[in-house]
Amino acid sequence: KAGVTQTPRYLIKTRGQQVTLSCSPISGHRSVSWYQQTPGQGLQFLFEYFSETQRNKGNFPGRFSGRQFSNSRSEMNVSTLELGDSALYLCASRSGGVNNEQFFGPGTRLTVL
């Protein structure tokens, strides 16, 4: 079974631009969560989606948004990029009930210049 895939793996943008990151969960998984990892703040929760509905949102500004499609694939968008948005963005999916273990993708490393 293929794991969680994220595209692109690496991305370089400039301040003020916007970016869209994509995540394909493990086949059959309907829940997708997103996390941001930076050296200063560590791993922080962004969003949680289940069956196209956002169930939970972390403490991030409105520039960060996401969505989930009917095939469970998810995208997150960051508008008006800032230097501090440079990070590794990780996507995770799970099967079964809430609180089951989540399986992470390799991440998208975003660099904002």
Helix (H, G, I), strand (E, B) or coil at 47: strand
Structure tokens at 31: 């829940």
Which listed residue (21, 78, 87, 92) binds another protein by CB under 8 A?
Answer: 92
Pairwise CA distance, residues 90 & 38, whole Å:
11
What is the pattern of x (binds another protein, CB under 8 A) and - over residues 93-112? -x---xxxxxxxxxx-x---
Which listed residue (19, 90, 110, 112) binds another protein by CB under 8 A?
Answer: 90
Q: Residue 24 interacts with another protein (CB under 8 A)?
A: no
Structure tokens at 84: 């501090």
Beta carbon of residue 99, minimum distance to another protein (angstroms, whole number): 5
What is the pattern of x (binds another protein, CB under 8 A) and - over residues 43-62? xxx--x------xx-x----
Question: Residue 59 — φ and ψ, nearest 5°?
Answer: -90, 70
Classify residue 78 as left (phi > 0), alpha (psi -120 to 50) or beta. beta
Structure tokens at 99: 């609180």
Beta carbon of residue 68, minimum distance to another protein (angstroms, whole number): 13
Q: Which positions touch another protein (CB under 8 A)?
A: 31, 33, 35, 42-45, 48, 55-56, 58, 88, 90, 92, 94, 98-107, 109
